[in-house]
Amino acid sequence: MDIAVVVKLVPDLVEELAIDESGAALDTSYLRLIVNELDNHAVEQAILLKESAGGQVTVIAPDLEGVDDILFTAAAKGADRLIKLTGAMSGVNNYALSNSLAAIIREIKPHLVLTGVQANNDLDGSVGPRLAALLGMAYVGYVSGVTPANDSVKVRKEYSGGLVAQVAVRLPAVLGIQAAGKPPRYVPISKIRQMSKTARIKDQPAGDLDAGNGAAVKHMFKPEMGTHATMIEGEADEVADRLIAIFKEQDIL
């Protein structure tokens, strides 16, 4: 089964986020980008499927700071082909992106396209269902586990509260991955370094990145909730003392 995985780079939310001068976008000058965590699961799911059913895994990622490492890491895990989408990739919307990804995927002709089900910074829905519409493929998202079955795959689709549906999806299809069937594997740095010498990344121009009729953000702000926590100051020991007092007040201790 040939599989294409599209990987996104997203802001690392552990870092402090700032809004730029326009007031309508994140300040990217200090922004640290990391791979969308769900995409690690999508890559893992692709490798798991390759291990059980054979086929080629192609990983496609936009040309942004740190992308080579991400692609070489995927190769170290077992990806066969690496494609870097070149062009003005910063801040591109999903309308434009899906069109250029669809063009590339049409050439690869995979049986399955895997994406992360969503990313932490999208404001115009996910790429996966758009790709499915453009490619005329089936789409199922919130998937945690995929098993091959003849001309279909059986997927676990998650609903809230821990309810799962086993769903049959006829190929070719796009799946939005929430979690791989197993936790993403670890690869040692040495193996990634080795890949950076042997694996080849193919540059592919994204072409015309037309933003279409997407909604424009006019204003970004940090949420100021009416209620912010009362902060307990001091070292761990003092905080623990205060918590004990609170537990006692609340009849928890």
Partner 1 sequence: MSQDIFVVIEHLRGKVADISYVMLAAARVIAQATGGQVVAALLGHNAQELAGNLAADRVLYVEHPALADFTSAAYQTVLESLLREHAPRAALLGDTSIGGDVAAWLAARLSWPLVSSCRSVSAEGAVIRFVSQTCGGKIMAEGDLPGPCALVMIVPGGYKPEQGQSAQTPQVTSAAAPPLEGLRVAVDNYVEPDTSDVDISREPILVSVGRGIQTLDSIGLVEELARALGCPVCASRPIVDQGWLPTTRLVGKSGKVVKPRLYLALGISGAPEHVEGMGESEMIIAVNTDPAAPIFNVAKYGATVDLFDLAPALTEKIQEARRQRGTHHGAASS
Ligand X SMILES: Nc1ncnc2c1ncn2[C@@H]1O[C@H](COP(=O)(O)O)[C@@H](O)[C@H]1O
Ligand Y SMILES: Cc1cc2nc3c(=O)[nH]c(=O)nc-3n(C[C@H](O)[C@H](O)[C@H](O)COP(=O)(O)OP(=O)(O)OC[C@H]3O[C@@H](n4cnc5c(N)ncnc54)[C@H](O)[C@@H]3O)c2cc1C
Query: Which residues sit at the interface with ligand Y, rule CB under 6 A?
Result: 13-14, 117-118, 178
Is position 140 an interface residue for partner 1 (rule: CB under 8 A)? Answer: yes
CA-atom Rg of the chain in angstroms: 21
Of ligand Y, partner 1, ligand X, none, which one does residue 227 interact with (CB within 5 to 8 Å by kind)? partner 1
Is position 61 an interface residue for ligand X (rule: CB under 6 A)? Answer: yes
Is position 35 an interface residue for partner 1 (rule: CB under 8 A)? Answer: no
Whichever of 27 and 37 has its CB closer to ligand Y, that residue is 37
Is position 49 an interface residue for ligand X (rule: CB under 6 A)? Answer: no
Is position 46 an interface residue for ligand X (rule: CB under 6 A)? Answer: no
Residue type (1 letter), 246: I
Supply angle C-alpha 88, 90, 92, rounded to 5.
80
Cβ pair 147, 153 in contact under 8 A: yes
Whichever of 94 and 100 has its CB closer to partner 1, that residue is 94
Q: 126 to 185, contacts with ligand X by CB under 6 A?
A: 126-128
Q: Which of 74, 157, 195, 201 binds partner 1 (CB under 8 A)?
A: 157
Is position 216 an interface residue for partner 1 (rule: CB under 8 A)? Answer: yes
Is position 45 an interface residue for partner 1 (rule: CB under 8 A)? Answer: no
Q: Residue holding tokens 């990145």?
A: 209
Q: 76 to 135, contacts with ligand X by CB under 6 A?
A: 94, 97, 115-116, 118-119, 122, 126-128
Whichever of 8 and 111 has its CB closer to ligand Y, that residue is 8
- CA 206 to chain CA centroid, Å, is 19
Whichever of 166 and 203 has its CB closer to partner 1, that residue is 166
- Cβ 57 to partner 1, closest distance in Å? 21
Is position 13 an interface residue for partner 1 (rule: CB under 8 A)? Answer: yes
Q: Which of 45, 58, 94, 100 binds partner 1 (CB under 8 A)?
A: 94
How is residue 126 written in tokens? 């996910």
Residue type (1 letter), 161: G
Neighbours of 58 (CB within 10 A): 22
Q: Which of 28, 167, 191, 196 binds partner 1 (CB under 8 A)?
A: 167
Query: How far is the C-alpha of 159 from the C-alpha of 153, rounded, in Å?
Result: 19
Q: Residue holding tokens 């269902």?
A: 129
Cis peptide before 62 (omega within 30 of 0): no
**Residues 6+ away with beta carbon under 8 Å from 8:** 35, 36, 39, 61, 62, 116, 119, 127
